[in-house]
Structure 1
Amino acid sequence: MAEKAKDSFVSIVLRLAIDSEAMNMVEAIGAFTPHRSAPIVVRIGDGLRVVRAPAASGQMMAYAYQKALVELASKANTNMPLCDDCRNYKTLGGFVKRATADPDSFKDGEFSVIETCVVEDLSGFMIVGKGRRGSRRERRKGGEEEEGEEAAGLRRTSPVWFSYLLPEPHLTSFKFEPQFHVRFNVKEGNNPFTVENAAAIYTLAIAIDVKAIGRAADRNGVIREVGDRDRRVALALEALRAVFHGQLFGAKKSRNLFRFEIVGGAASISNPLPFTLSPPIRGDESYVAKSYRRARSMVAGLSRTSIAQEINMAYFDGDGIAGDLKSIVESVVGQGAKAEGDRYCEKVEAGSICLERVRDFDQMIDWIRNKIFGKA
């Protein structure tokens, strides 16, 4: 009998080296199309400064993730539920997710929605209906207030979260570079335009609240579970693999297909309380060591309140900033700590922590899946 998915919280951080990309632009200013940017804090000398840096939104990543979900769920051998809006997102120009449907038509409320669409389950939705008033009080034409119909929509927060893609906070880790182009047609001749490209060591954080997948309240407030929940948990992980291997994220790919590589990353699985990893950036201390140190503090602190917190961590280190397992463990636990091969586990009062080194991104996704389904 297959193992059931364990209730847990997954945190993933990645380092991506991306060259000459225009994957997330903002509105053109005349003939110039600027790259999306965000203020980030960088260390310069002994102080901190805020600078403009290239960025890509979490919404961009979520859109790519939803595309992957549709592709995977619509395959004949998968046969997972999809609503018409999500199945036809290309025709509709995006993921509308039954936003204008009558909320009252869903007999069991939020549960009815997720039961009939895996995309809405894993990426959230907001169904407000047509012509519903957004406030309890409405103004008459004469200016007097009267009671209005209260909006009674349905909504769900996505159990899968994405951060912005942000550069590592070092001035040498990112750069903007405008690229000059010319369009030509017989009537108007040459039409010059400029697209602002960027390159960076980007960092990305992803979180998955596994216990929320395939579960929702009905109209009586009772939490119910879909019959194919375990398959949905597995789909949530495989969609991440599809996003990166299929390069589903980013815009302007027909003539500005960027070169990228996942050069490092880490994952953690925690239970019963969520734990998130430290940002995957270069610093005086390895981000994996910093995460492990924080995990030990959390487990020890919760033990004093009789909570047995369990945190499992894995990492891969393609660009050499995380360090080897032995040095990480010794820097946090002490010289007497002995790691067995690529794995180290310890009891911390009432709880436990394990750290493993894996080969690459794919092995890390497999590791997460095995931990959730109790295969490792």
Structure 2
Amino acid sequence: MNARTRIVVLLVAVLVLGGVAVGSVLRAADQAQRKDQQQTTGPQVTAGRVALAGAASARQPRLVFRSTLWGPHRDELVSVPASAPAGPRTASGLRCLRFFTAAGTGSCLRAVPGALAGHYEAVVLDARLRARRHVPLVGSPTRTRVSPSGRMVAWTVFVSGESYTGLNFSTRTSILDTRTGTFQSNLESYRVVKDGQPYRSPDINFWGVTFADDGHFYATMATRGTAYLVRGDIARRTVTTLRGNVECPSLSPDGTRLAFKKRVPGLPADAPWRLYVLDLPSMREHPLAERRSADDQAVWLDDHTVAYALPGDFETDAWSVPSDGTGHPHRLMPAAQAPSEVR
């Protein structure tokens, strides 16, 4: 075989291999597109109007949450009647990775549309899901809450790390006053009172804010390998420790109890938590009937029911359990995360 023939053979081989590679890429892209366009299983989802307050929600209480079903409406905020949570869903067209709402104000933590991967923002929404304010985030979204009046919004991002399983990660928690525009970018600027004494440490992290009112909140503070429940005063910019081994607190609608996740000795390192409820007046706690490890900040559907996320076929399913420790866990709906009731 002379040099010219070898060059021709080489060129043919390159063209064939290139064609195979292009074909493989096109087939993979087509399969991915079909997967995105087709909802495999689960409740029916159709586009429609979703509101966080107003006449539509006043007629019948509804749940609004992030849907994780595969298909064109994945990650969109959807709503269902509170009386039929596993039924057909109305999709809003707005995508959020984390979401919470109260009194007609919504907090949506999302990837910045059209930006490169890894760019996130917090969007404050009005009752019609219109953006009122955009705030760039310095990490990946993990928690968000709105005060009962709808005025105050808080969120937490991972600055480093991506799991709460260990305590070797870094978070940043921010609070925004939607009425005045005052923005507290990092709770680590707060003065800490621990065991009755001023406390400082370079390893402090905060996450999981839950509001008592527009001036006070509960949250988790971690330092030197221990997670503490703290109560915060926004005007004074102080937090005070209340007790240890409390993570991701969630205040009941009547303001008397906190649902939280607790690390229980003897459980696997990758599934260390059990759900508990703490009675604030007596500071007594009791476990809930859910015995699986739930890495979530629970939500209260009412004064007697706690909802939370567990892994499912489509990322997470929403489960519920009585808050008094009785009963059994119940799968509220598939492919759902952090349902909020709107009236």
User: Which TM-score applies when normalising by structure 1?
Assistant: 0.26
- Report the structure, 1 or 2, having the larger helix content: 1
User: Which TM-score applies when normalising by structure 2?
Assistant: 0.28
- Report the structure, 1 or 2, having the larger strand content: 2
